[in-house]
Chain A
């Protein structure tokens, strides 16, 4: 059976890259005594797939990995066992059974990801940036150059921004300032990173953008149950059977 597991990755874990995270997770499964299926062949490896790799430097409230297991185990038990030996910053949240077709794979379902961006201390723009940001978003077309490994192409990213708003920071404890909340297209077809949007805005509005100016948190990853004209986004965990 295939289980979808959701976890959060916070704090120091933001410095752990995707490949190391995969290595971590395999060891975590062995420590937890979860009977993960191995692939056949000369060098068997655990059968698992990640929905949407998270870049180094970002935190996340909702990361997804799909795992094939031989001996059935309830989602609650998987979560409980995995949480027995976690480093600070990792918390396993949910696990539930998911379909086993190719289309059920997390990486094929991903359609949208939501992010919260906070300015790193000392990197804030001057206060009037918010109105400039909203008028930037009012355009029908925002053209950016997307660089692939070999190719460069111009893409209109405006339709791929499903949500963009600036709110006062409320859930961030005693920290002050604005947070930017973005809902962006994600996955195999169209994928835009939050930095790309902010870079495009900074370029258009004549502000400086630097690589580490935002703390970025991924809030949730969604599948699209609707159509291209009428999206119906649901969190990946709700795609379980």
Chain B
């Protein structure tokens, strides 16, 4: 048997889950290195089972590999046990399929999904043998573009440890990568240097090369300017989006891992973007405009995904699946075609509670075991208006009563604490809402039909302001203050009449503050990330590996005052480190939303009226009607468009997936 391994067998047999490092999954792509011109390592900087669950990489993996001249392979963060061995034995990081070192590749693409994986990016570079600082990296031929699909989430990492000699792709990956790869081939044919290549790449729409931009700061530490340092480099980098989702490449040969991964199922992306416009939500802003796939496309894709993978579960994915206009048709098709006859589980994400969703859920899951999830995010009506999660208490209680009548007795509630304008009474309202839901249960379900108590679980996370959202101007709090907020909720829960039916969990406060630093940081925190990494920070998203003290020392050692990034009040005129990215939604719009938030005014969703956010310039999705007429001309006029909007407010979400037991 001929096979090549980057790791000796003894190592594979002694580390946990060796399947992570083999690259031999069904549908993994193998090519002859002699037959391709470009080797591309696509990296998700977290452990295999997390990275393999990411939809975007699977789409790009297949799209790249459709090109006969490209071999795209995968790279994930080695888990801590192997990380240690690789450092001790000086084994370079390798791409899974070929088991060749990352350094042998032409590109290393790293996708950035969340702040807490930044130290893992440094691990990837470090284990690959790529110097963390760009100035030490002149001899290496790899360039490291971010997989840009989600680059725009977090402009701070563009400076993670000052790896500036690289290109970042900002936008949805399906659009301009071909252009970039062709450019690379041409530059190589002409014998051009990496710098020359990057300079040309920077002119490709959506590509950002940090090395060609100069940054200066005011005396108070805020950003003074962020400008191209050379001619031919665009001052603003425009996020790229797919305009026709039916035409965009999708997965036809899904990778089928041997080990159980976090999302062990095939994923059918029904639409991209969200019409709702919750003011804290980054995805809801940067994935605009909302673009849907047709029912026909989805039926075809579902059948291909299931047949080619052999998976026994399919989940529907999008930011707000209830807003997909043809959802009933799609779900009924899946249940009839695959659910009953083929024992395929249909996993539904958050759905608004109505007769349809309760009926569907009772078909696809065991009511007794499953729970319903509502995400009101704010406890009081005023708070929900501030965040533009305009659903009312009435919506929630009615949804809960319907669900209780349908046989459910477990409810999960998600809220955020520490949002702009939040007062103590808003925090208490969280517990009060839970109490009202408990009372609804006892009022709705007669004694003889009850199976014990109802169970209501409140979870709160602490709000982290993100770039490209109306709340990018918001201030944060100290960890101790966050804990006090949680304490207030806890006290109120304890004093509730039905406190025995209500459980309360809250998130880590210190992690929140670190996320806050990384989310709105600038180039200067790069040294801090590096220092934390050098001191041993890795897998910060994993509670057992995360260490606040190490980060505090890193901030001290690199002269970073965290309050400047988290607690400082930003003026409306302030130039933000991410403003050079044109994410579609305009800063003017974000600011007007920020003002409306301060007045607790809601903004109708995109199906109800166009609010002229700026995303219409992409000429696609919900911003246009069938004849291609822009809706922006109708900004401010309340006319339902394209799809009937039965309820112009966001409605309670229920989460049917992964809530069993």
List residues of A whose CB falls within 8 A of some B CB. Answer: 10-13, 15-17, 20-21, 23-24, 26-31, 38, 42, 44, 56-57, 59, 85-89, 120, 211-212
Contact = CB atoms under 8 A, between A and B. Distances in A.
Interface string B308-339: 11111000000000000000000000000000
B24 A31 contact: no
B343 A38 contact: yes
B217 interface: no
Q: With a 10 A CB-CB cut-off, give which of B2, B19, B306 has the most chain A CB atoms.
A: B19
B3 A31 contact: no
B631 to A, nearest CB: 44
A85 B12 CA distance: 25
Contact of A11 (B1, B18, B28): B1
Contacts of B9: 57, 120, 212
Contacts of B1: 10-11, 59, 89
22 contacts: A11-B2, A11-B3, A13-B24, A15-B13, A16-B258, A20-B260, A21-B258, A24-B26, A24-B258, A26-B312, A27-B309, A27-B310, A31-B308, A31-B309, A44-B343, A57-B9, A57-B13, A85-B27, A87-B24, A87-B26, A120-B9, A212-B13
Contacts of B18: 15, 56
B189 to A, nearest CB: 34
Nearest to B369: A42
A31 B1 CA distance: 25
Given A11-B3, A16-B19, A89-B3, 5 more contacts: A12-B24, A27-B312, A30-B310, A42-B366, A88-B24
Contact of A15 (B2, B19, B25, B343): B19
B259 A87 contact: no
Contacts of A85: 26-27
A42 B27 CA distance: 32
B307 interface: yes
B10 interface: yes
Contacts, number: 75
B310 A26 contact: yes
B256 interface: yes
Leading 10 A-B pairs by shortest Cβ distance: A27-B310, A30-B310, A11-B1, A31-B310, A15-B18, A20-B258, A12-B24, A10-B1, A16-B258, A212-B10
**Interface size grouping (class) on chain B:** 20 to 34
A94 B366 CA distance: 39
Contacts of A87: 24-26, 28
Contacts of B13: 15, 56-57, 211-212
B22 interface: yes
A89 B366 CA distance: 39
A145 to B, nearest CB: 24
Contacts of A26: 310, 312
B252 to A, nearest CB: 13
B258 A23 contact: yes
Interface in B1-49: 1-3, 5, 9-10, 12-14, 18-19, 22, 24-28
Main secondary structure of the interface of B (DSSP, over half): loop
Contacts of A27: 26, 256, 309-312
Q: With a 10 A CB-CB cut-off, give which of B13, B14, B27, B260 has the most chain A CB atoms.
A: B13
Contacts of A13: 24
B655 to A, nearest CB: 20
A20 B5 CA distance: 20
Contacts of B260: 20, 23
A88 B9 CA distance: 17
A10 B3 CA distance: 10
B308 to A, nearest CB: 7
B307 A15 contact: no
A131 B13 CA distance: 31
A12 B22 contact: yes
A185 B88 CA distance: 41
B8 to A, nearest CB: 10
Contacts of A29: 310
Contacts of B310: 26-31
A17 B258 CA distance: 9
Contacts of A59: 1
A88 B3 CA distance: 9
A61 B19 CA distance: 21
A12 B22 CA distance: 7
Contacts of A17: 19
Nearest to A122: B10
Nearest to A10: B1
A44 to B, nearest CB: 6
Contacts of B26: 24, 27-28, 31, 85-87
Contacts of A11: 1-3
Given A20-B259, A88-B24, A12 B312 contact: no
B22 A15 contact: yes
A211 to B, nearest CB: 8
Nearest to A28: B310
Interface in B476-492: none
A31 B312 CA distance: 10
Nearest to B342: A30
Q: With a 10 A CB-CB cut-off, give which of A16, A21, A44, A59 has the most chain B CB atoms.
A: A16
A112 to B, nearest CB: 25
Contacts of A28: 26, 310
Interface in B373-398: none
Contacts of A21: 258
Q: With a 10 A CB-CB cut-off, give which of B9, B259, B310, B311 has the most chain A CB atoms.
A: B310
Nearest to A11: B1
Nearest to B99: A12
A57 B13 CA distance: 7
Interface in B34-77: none
A189 B533 CA distance: 53
A225 B312 CA distance: 39
A12 B3 contact: yes
Contacts of A38: 343
A10 B2 CA distance: 10
A30 B312 contact: yes
Nearest to B256: A27
Contacts of A86: 26
A27 B308 CA distance: 9
A13 B19 CA distance: 9
Q: With a 10 A CB-CB cut-off, give which of B12, B307, B366 has the most chain A CB atoms.
A: B12
A86 B26 CA distance: 7
Nearest to A15: B18
Contacts of A30: 306, 310-312, 342
A30 to B, nearest CB: 4
Nearest to B28: A87
A192 to B, nearest CB: 21
Q: With a 10 A CB-CB cut-off, give which of A15, A56, A86 has the most chain B CB atoms.
A: A15
